[in-house]
Amino acid sequence: MDIDIKNQYYDMVAISLVTDMCNMTSLENHALFKYGINNITNPMIKAMIEEYSFRDISPYNIAWSISPKINSVFRAGTLEDKNNFFYCFVEERPIFQGLDICEFCHKNQRKIVNTLTKELNSNLEKYDNVIIGFAFNEETVYKGFFTLKKVQFKHKLFAGGESGVVTRELLVKGAASAVIAYDPEEDAVVLVEQVRIGAYQPESARSPWLLELIAGMVEEGEQPEEVALRESEEEAGVSVQNLTHCLSVWDSPGGVVERIHLFVGRVDSSQAKGLHGLAEENEDIRVHVVKREQAYQWMCDGKIDNGIAVMGLQWLQLNYAQLQQRWQ
C-alpha cells in the first residue's frame, strides 16, 4: 500500500480507526493504523499518549485508554466542549485545555452512566422481557477495604414465570488485573509471594504465603491495562513489553462482585528480584523467577492453588509456543 508521507493527518486517522471501532483485521485499516501511530505529529495526540506511557502502542491499548475519553467528549460534553476539543487538535487551543476537557467529560459520562444504571435497576420490574430480573432492595452492610451489600432480587424462571424473592450478601471488590509476566528467552515466569489472610487456616499445615501472578485492584478512573503495567513495576520491579489481553472472568459471582482481567506480557526476568510492595499498604512481597514447566508442575501438585495463578499458568501452558514465536 502506497502512503503519501507528506500527509500530516495519518496519526488522527489511526486514532479514529480504533475510536470508531473499525475492522482492524482489514489489511488496509491495519496498514493505516501502523503508519499513523508510528508517525505521530499532532501535539494533542502526543500528549494523550504520553499520559499513559505506552511501551507498545496497539489498537487494544488505544481502545482501552484514549478512545473512551475522546468518545466521552462527544457523548457527554457540551457544544462548547466539542468545539474547544476540536480546536485543540488543530492547534488553535492549548493542549492542556483539551486534556482537561477529556478528563471532565469522561468523569461526567461515568456519572451519567451510573445514574442511568440506578434508574434502570429501580424500574426493571416493569419489563416482562428482562432475563435477570431486578435488584429491588440494596443495602450496604459494611464498607471498609471492601464493601459488603445485602441485595434482594427476583429473576425469570426457565420454566416460565418468576422466582420468589432471593436474598444474598455480596462482597463488592470491583475489578482486578493480573499479569502473566513471561520471559520467552528463559522460558520462565515471574511470580510473587505474599501472605493472604483468607488462606490462613489454623487447623491446616498449609502456609498462607502464596505464590501468585502479579496482580492489583483497578481503582476508579483506571483502565485494567494501566493497572497491569503499574503493578508489574510495584510488585516485581519489571517493565512489561507487548502487553496483551488474554481473557476476563467473573470471580465467584454467586457471592462476589469482581471481574478479573488477565494479561500476558514479555519481561526480562533477570530484572525480577528482591523484596517489593508499598509500605503505606503494608505490602511485603518476594519475587520469584520460576521455569514455566516447574510452575506448571507446582500447579498440578497443588503447591500453587489460588485461582488466578492456576488460570494464568494453564493459559501460559497452552499458549507459550505461540508467544515465543511471536516475540522472536
Q: What does the DSSP assignment read for 216-252?
A: EEE-TT--HHHHHHHHHHHHH----EEEEEEEEEESS
Give the up-direction half-sphere exposure of residue 221: CA atoms within 13 A in the CB hemisphere: 8
Which grid cell sits at 251? 470471580
Confidence (pLDDT) at 101: 79
Least confident window among 42-51, 137-146, 230-239, 306-315 = 42-51
Give me the pLDDT at residue 304, please: 96
Residue 136 has pLDDT above 50, yes or no: yes
Task: Quickly state the pLDDT bin for 260 (edges 50, 70, 90).
Answer: very high
Could you tell me what percent of the chain has a pLDDT over 70?
A: 91
Greater confidence, 131 or 273?
273
* Domains, the chain, with CATH or none: 10-107 (no CATH), 121-171 (no CATH), 173-326 (3.90.79.10)
Residues 260-288, mean pLDDT to the nearest whole number: 90
Cβ-contact 261, 178 below 8 angstroms: yes
Residue 135 has pLDDT above 60, yes or no: no
The half-sphere exposure of 264 on its side-chain side, counting CA atoms within 13 A, is 22
Strands 209-212 and 214-218: unpaired
Q: Specify the pLDDT at position 215.
A: 96
How far apart CA 95 and CA 76 sit, in angstroms, is: 20
51, 95 contact by CB (below 8 A): no
Mean local confidence (pLDDT), 23-27: 75
Say if CB 14 and CB 37 are below 8 A apart.
yes
Confidence of residue 81 (pLDDT cuts 50, 70, 90): confident
On the question of pLDDT at 36 being above 90, the answer is no
Percent of the chain whose pLDDT exceeds 90: 39
Residue 250 CB neighbours (<10 A): 11
Q: Any idea which residues carry the catalytic annotation?
A: 281
Q: How does the average pLDDT of the chain come out, rounded?
A: 84
Contact, 163 vs 155, CB < 8 A? yes
DSSP label at residue 171? E
